[in-house]
């Protein structure tokens, strides 16, 4: 008598393999979102540090000479002092949502978006950015605001 797998055993085996592949794919996708969030926090920290150094050196956040809108477009301004303190400014874009502008907190919450200046004044600024999953210490997904005072989640 020959021993062989039955059709049911093969279907169960293929189902288990499919389930393992699905779990692996979901884990990898989740890891990619977390890596993008880490890059976002790193980018925002770099921007915050550059803004602080510029303010200390020049006396004003307005020396960034940025228009309200995507942060990276500030690098195109010929008189922007921010490019001196953050040479990679031209490349400072969200790793996933580089085309969307955070023109409101609603857009930032729902769609994800590129880093966007929403306020730029002599003594303050505001940049909106989006986290997909959250990463310590910003553990919730959603819209965040960077100001001269630090980072806070927007409800």
User: What DSSP element (H or E) covers 153?
Assistant: strand 150-153
User: Beta strand pairing status for 150-153 and 69-70?
Assistant: unpaired
pLDDT, tens digit (0-9, with 9 covering 90-100), for 84-112:
999 999 999 999 987 888 877 777 877 78
Residue 79 per-residue DSSP state:
T
Is the alpha carbon torsion for 71, 75, 77, 79 positive or negative? positive
The domain spans of the chain are 8-153
Average per-residue pLDDT for the chain: 89
| C-alpha–C-alpha distance, residues 26 and 22, integer Å | 6
pLDDT, tens digit (0-9, with 9 covering 90-100), for 19-47:
888 888 777 676 888 999 999 999 999 99
pLDDT, tens digit (0-9, with 9 covering 90-100), for 46-71:
999 999 999 999 999 999 989 899 99
Token readout for 55 is 């303010």
């Amino acid at each position: 008598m020959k021993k062989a797998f039955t059709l049911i055993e093969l279907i169960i085996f293929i189902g288990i393999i499919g389930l393992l592949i699905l779990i692996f794919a979901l884990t990898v996708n989740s890891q990619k979102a977390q890596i993008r969030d880490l890059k976002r926090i790193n980018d925002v920290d770099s921007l915050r540090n550059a803004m602080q150094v510029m303010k200390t050196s020049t006396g004003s956040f307005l020396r960034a000479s940025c228009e309200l809108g995507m942060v990276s477009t500030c690098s195109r301004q010929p008189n922007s002092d921010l490019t001196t303190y953050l040479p990679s400014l031209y490349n400072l874009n969200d790793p996933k949502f580089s085309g969307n502008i955070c023109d409101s907190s609603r857009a930032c919450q729902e769609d994800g978006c590129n880093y966007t200046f929403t306020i730029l004044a002599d003594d303050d600024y505001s940049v909106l950015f989006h986290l997909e999953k959250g990463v310590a210490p910003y553990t919730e997904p959603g819209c965040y605001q960077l100001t001269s005072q630090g980072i806070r989640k927007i409800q």
